[in-house]
């Protein structure tokens, strides 16, 4: 039987406090889920009541289908080892949906997503649709999906794994140990604010305009998630805004400051976004949890991802107050390498782990996936984006096969122990 979605605060509270980058994944996963007592590793020989979930798969465009196919297999195997059953349903979004139905988010896609327990998305967009009018752009489909699911809190971890520290463009001593969580507001701000559009000014010149707008409740709910996340990490929250110029940011800062008294165990600081962009490169280790609006979060999370060496490694979780969460890699559709078996599937595989943890509360299965990814990297397998001298270059499918092998070997070891 499918469980309902986890309450947002409880999900945020699951975010661990990894002390070193080497332990981000395994240590966070090692903490037992507060929802259920710690369990011994189960294997197929120890039957437990089956849990069944409906997962909506949205492969999308470019490398999306390749990476989602790998993540689906990994999810399936890790789940089956924990007695979890998945029912997958694949529906189109973005360019794929435009080609199939004429719109970037068909009604059936949104309904299917809403009726499921969690949604796993690949990527959307591509050259083919770049010149489309706004309502027919693949990106519009993604924004409609986020709004339709009400997933206002977007968690984007950026962790420098010791195995990949050489893949960072920063000096080793700057990158080593970086472990940041960007909490991005996802359904408000300038992305959705009205008025917006095209028009002309009094000189008759064409103009385009958008509105950066936030209400106190919108700021309050995202800030609460961020405080909860920070509380479970290293207890430091930096709120990023442009309160020296923008009214929406002034209200943002006032609201976050007011809330801080409810979280006296969290050390709050505020930073202007231009300074934050600089500090992320200068001394990224000063950051623990960052909370920011939609557009600053879009930009800063790409920047933070590059500290880790490759955007191809980074997952994300988008969560609302109720209903299914949306889980997606933060890289885009990479049309230049699509269909060539060159994509790094690990960001999507790790998004599947976030889906298990934050979306379904299946901590043990999430840990299986994360451990398998670490194990695969430890064996030296690398896709092109994270390749360095002395490692083994593999494609998307082989990387997926190696992760599956690692998940499988956990089962073998567990069976041997029983």
Binding site for ligand IPM (CB under 6 A): 125, 139, 142-143, 298, 330
| Residue with the shortest CB distance to Mg ion | 298
Q: How far is CA 25 from CA 158, 195, 290, 372, 373, in A?
A: 11, 42, 19, 10, 9
Return the number of the residue (129 or 287) whose C-beta is nearest ligand IPM: 129
Burial 42-70 (b: 16+ CB within 10 A, else e): bbeeeeeeebebbbbbbbbbbbbbbbbbb
In the complex, least distance from residue 305 CB atom to Mg ion, rounded to whole angstroms: 9
387 vs 382: CA distance, rounded Å: 5
Count of residues near Mg ion by CB under 5 A: 1
Q: Does 139 bind Mg ion (CB under 5 A)?
A: no
Token match 């840990």: residue? Answer: 367
Residue 203 annotated among the catalytic residues of the structure: no
In the complex, least distance from residue 240 CB atom to ligand IPM, rounded to whole angstroms: 16
Return the number of the residue (82 or 328) whose C-beta is nearest ligand IPM: 328
Return the number of the residue (56 or 333) whose C-beta is nearest ligand IPM: 333
Residue 288 annotated among the catalytic residues of the structure: no
Restricting to residues 269-328, which ones interact with Mg ion according to CB under 5 A?
A: 298
Residue 302 annotated among the catalytic residues of the structure: yes
357 vs 172: CA distance, rounded Å: 31
3-state secondary structure string across 153-167: EEEEEEECCHHHHHH
Q: What are phi and psi of 182, to 5 degrees?
A: -95, 125
In the complex, least distance from residue 267 CB atom to ligand IPM, rounded to whole angstroms: 28
Which candidate in 73, 298, 371, 385 is catalytic? 298
Residue 24 binds which entry of ligand IPM, Mg ion, none, CB below 5-8 Å type-dependent: none
Residue 242 annotated among the catalytic residues of the structure: yes
In the complex, least distance from residue 37 CB atom to ligand IPM, rounded to whole angstroms: 36
Residue 55 binds which entry of Mg ion, ligand IPM, none, CB below 5-8 Å type-dependent: none
Residue 139 binds which entry of ligand IPM, Mg ion, none, CB below 5-8 Å type-dependent: ligand IPM
183 vs 221: CA distance, rounded Å: 12
Query: Are the C-beta atoms of 243 and 265 separated by less than 8 Å?
Result: no
151 vs 328: CA distance, rounded Å: 12
| Residue with the shortest CB distance to ligand IPM | 139
C-alpha 81, offset from chain centre: 24
Residue 342 annotated among the catalytic residues of the structure: no
For the annotated catalytic residues, the residue numbers are: 191, 242, 274, 298, 302
**Residue numbers of the site for Mg ion (CB under 5 A)?**
298
């Amino acid at each position: 039987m499918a469980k309902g979605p986890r309450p947002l605060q409880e999900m945020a509270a699951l975010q661990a406090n990894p002390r070193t980058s080497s332990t981000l994944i395994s240590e966070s996963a090692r903490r037992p889920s507060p929802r259920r007592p710690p369990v011994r590793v189960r294997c197929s020989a120890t039957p437990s009541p089956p849990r069944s979930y409906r997962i909506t798969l949205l492969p999308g465009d470019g490398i999306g289908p390749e990476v989602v196919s790998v993540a689906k297999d990994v999810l399936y195997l890790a789940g089956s080892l924990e007695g979890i059953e998945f029912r997958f349903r694949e529906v189109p979004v973005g360019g794929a949906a435009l080609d199939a139905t004429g719109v970037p988010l068909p009604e059936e896609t949104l309904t299917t997503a809403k009726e499921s327990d969690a949604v796993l998305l690949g990527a959307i967009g591509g050259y083919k649709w770049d010149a489309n009018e706004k309502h027919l752009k693949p990106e519009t489909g993604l924004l409609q999906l986020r709004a339709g699911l009400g997933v206002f809190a977007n968690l984007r971890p950026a962790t420098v794994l010791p195995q990949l520290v050489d893949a960072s463009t920063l000096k080793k001593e700057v990158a080593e140990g970086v472990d940041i969580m960007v909490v991005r507001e996802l359904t408000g701000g300038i992305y959705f604010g009205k008025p917006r559009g095209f028009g002309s000014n009094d000189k008759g010149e064409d103009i385009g305009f958008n509105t950066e707008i936030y209400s106190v409740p919108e700021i309050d709910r995202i800030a609460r998630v961020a405080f909860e996340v920070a509380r479970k990490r290293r207890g430091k929250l930096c709120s990023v805004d442009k309160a020296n110029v923008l009214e929406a940011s002034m209200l943002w800062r006032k609201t976050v400051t007011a809330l801080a008294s409810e979280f006296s165990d969290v050390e709050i600081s505020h930073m202007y976004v231009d300074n934050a962009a600089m500090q992320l490169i200068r001394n990224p280790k000063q950051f623990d949890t960052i909370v920011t609006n939609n557009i600053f979060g879009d930009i800063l999370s790409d920047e933070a991802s590059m500290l880790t060496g490759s955007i191809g490694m980074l997952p994300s979780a988008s969560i609302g107050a109720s209903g299914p969460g949306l889980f997606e890699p933060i890289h885009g559709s990479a049309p230049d390498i699509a269909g060539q078996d060159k994509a790094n599937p690990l960001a999507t595989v790790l998004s599947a782990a976030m889906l298990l943890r934050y979306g379904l509360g299946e901590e043990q299965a999430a840990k299986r996936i994360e451990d398998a990814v670490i194990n695969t990297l430890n064996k030296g397998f690398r896709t092109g984006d994270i390749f360095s001298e002395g490692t083994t270059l593999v494609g998307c499918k082989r990387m997926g096969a190696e992760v599956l092998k690692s998940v499988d070997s956990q089962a073998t070891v567990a069976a041997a122990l029983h």
